[in-house]
Amino acid sequence: MPIATPKQFAAMLDAAQQGGYAYPAINCTSIATLNAAMKAFADTKSDGIIQFSTGAGQFASGLNHKNSAFGVIVLAEAAHRLAEQYNVLIGLNTDHCPPDKVDSFMKPLIEATAKRRAKGEGNLFNNHMLDASNLPLDENMAISKEMMKLCAENEIVLEVEAGVVGGEEDGAAGSADTPEEKLYTTTEDMLTVYESLNELGRFTFAATFGNVHGHYKPGAVKLRPDILKQGQDAVMAKYGKGAEMDLVFHGGSGSLLSEIRETLGYGVVKMNIDTDAQYAFTRPIVDHMFKNYDGVVKIDGEIGNKKVYDPRSYIKKGEEAMAARVAEGCDNLLSVGKTLYGQV
Q: Give average pLDDT by consecutive 10-residue segment, the chain, 344 residues.
A: 92 98 98 98 98 97 95 98 97 97 98 97 97 94 98 98 65 51 84 97 93 54 86 97 96 84 97 95 98 95 96 98 98 98 95
DSSP classification of residue 219:
T
pLDDT score of 256: 87
pLDDT score of 182: 63
SS3 category, 10: helix
Residue 318's Cβ-count burial label (10 Å; 0-12, 13-18, 19+) is buried
DSSP classification of residue 122:
P
Judge contact between 268 and 13, C-beta under 8 A.
no
Q: Which amino acid is at 73?
A: I
Judge contact between 143 and 130, C-beta under 8 A.
yes
pLDDT score of 221: 55
Q: How far apart are CA 39 and CA 283, in angstroms?
A: 19
Contacts of 118 (CB under 8 A, 6+ apart): none
Q: How far apart are CA 72 and CA 69, in angstroms?
A: 5
Segment 240-247 long-range contacts (CB within 8 Å, at least 24 positions apart): 243/194, 243/198, 244/17, 245/190, 245/193, 245/194, 245/204, 245/205, 245/207, 246/13, 246/16, 246/17, 246/203, 246/204, 246/205, 246/270, 247/204, 247/205, 247/206, 247/207
Judge contact between 31 and 316, C-beta under 8 A.
no
Residue 23, strand partner residues: 270
Positions annotated as catalytic residues are 95
Domains of the chain: 6-332 (3.20.20.70)
pTM of the entire predicted model: 0.93
